Copies of this chain bind each other. A is one copy, B any other.
Amino acid sequence: MRIGELAARLGVNPKTIRFYEARGLIPDPVRLPSGYRDYGPEDESRLAFIKTAQRLGLSLDEIGEILAFKERGERPCSYVLSVLDAQLSDIDRRIGELVRLRAELVTLKDRADQLLSGDACYCGIVEHAGRMSQMITR
């Protein structure tokens, strides 16, 4: 399949695929007589892997390292594991923080709703934002 189709299947820009090729993340593909890149299913799954890993928070360099291990037939396990461990604890931290921020925003919004329906209000939301800041950064 040509680059446009591959890109469409994965929901990415064809330029992105060429960009990954230039970065060495995907191998130089076979070319059709026309010079067009010709991709197969392995390319699709490789690209899917890249996109997944990216969603997991890995940088293109990290992904490249993992793929390179695979290329060389080496055991990337411990490296991958350490990356995974780091990602995991980072995610835990972020979830905790988001949950806290969420609670604060909800409170803030509730106040705002009340104030909207109430009369004679300037902006209690403002004072609350101050408290929010303290709570969040506590």
A binding-site residues for B, Cβ under 8 Å = 45-46, 48-49, 52-53, 55-57, 66-67, 69-70, 73-78, 80-81, 84-85, 87-88, 91-92, 94-95, 97-99, 101-102, 104-106, 108-109, 111-113, 115-116, 121-126, 129-130, 132-134, 136-137
Contact = CB atoms under 8 A, between A and B. Distances in A.
Contact of A69 (B56, B92, B126): B126
A136 to B, nearest CB: 5
A36 to B, nearest CB: 25
A49 B53 CA distance: 30
* Max count, chain B CB within 10 A of own CB: residue among A56, A66, A69, A74: A56
B57 A123 contact: no
Query: Could you say how many copies of this chain the assembly holds?
Result: 2
Nearest to A136: B52
Q: Is the interface of A mostly helix, strand, loop or mixed?
A: helix
B55 A121 contact: no
Contacts of A115: 75-77
A39 B88 CA distance: 37
Given A80-B112, A94-B98, A56 B126 contact: no
15 contacts: A45-B137, A48-B137, A49-B133, A52-B101, A53-B101, A53-B129, A56-B105, A73-B126, A75-B115, A76-B126, A77-B116, A77-B124, A81-B112, A81-B116, A95-B98
